[in-house]
Amino acid sequence: MSSSVPQWRWQILDSPADLDPVPPVIAEELAQDWCNFVVWRPTALPAGCTAGAGTLRREAPPGRVDAEGRSPWSDANPAGYRTEVAGGGRRLRLKQFRYDWAFPAADHPCLWGSENRASGIGGGRVAWLGTDYLRNRAGSARLAGTTVELSVLEGEFTDEELVALFAGLRPAVPEAVPRVLATPFSELSYWARHRADMVSVPTGVFLFHRRGREHEGEWVPAGEVDAFLTGQGVPLSVAGYRADSAATFGDGAAVRELEVVYTCADGGELRLTAQRGGGGRLEFPPVRDKHPATEELHDLDGRPLHLGYVSAEFGACDAWWEHPDGYRLRLLGSAGAGLGPADFRGLVAALDAGLRLAGRAGVLG
pTM for the full predicted model: 0.94
Per-residue model confidence (pLDDT) at position 62: 93
User: What pLDDT is stored for residue 213 in this prediction?
Assistant: 64
With contact defined as beta carbons under 8 Å apart, do 309 and 340 qualify? yes
pLDDT of residue 363: 65
Q: Supply angle C-alpha 161, 127, 197, rounded to 5.
A: 125
φ, ψ of residue 214 in degrees (nearest 5)? -70, 135
Report the distance separating Cα 343 and Cα 50, nearest Å: 40
131 and 144 Cβ atoms separated by less than 8 Å: no
Domain ranges of the chain: 16-180, 202-357
The whole-angstrom separation of Cα 91 and Cα 38 is 24
Amino acid at 357: L
Neighbours of 174 (CB within 10 A): 10
Apex CA 279: angle with CA 248 and CA 319, to 5°?
A: 65
First-to-final CA distance of the chain: 24
Query: Is 3.40.50.300 the CATH classification of the domain at 16-180?
Result: no
What pLDDT score does 151 carry?
Answer: 98
pLDDT score, position 3: 63
pLDDT of residue 326: 83
For the chain (365 residues), the mean pLDDT of every run of 10, in chain order, is 82 96 96 98 97 96 83 85 98 97 93 96 96 95 98 98 98 98 97 83 87 75 95 93 93 74 94 79 91 97 97 97 91 96 97 83 60
User: Which residues lie below 8 Å from residue 245, measured CB to CB, with a gap of 6+?
Assistant: 184, 185, 186, 189, 192, 219, 220, 222, 225, 260, 261
Instruction: For strands 328-333 and 137-143, give the pairing.
Output: unpaired
What CA dihedral angle connects 38, 112, 274 and 282, to 10 degrees? Answer: 160
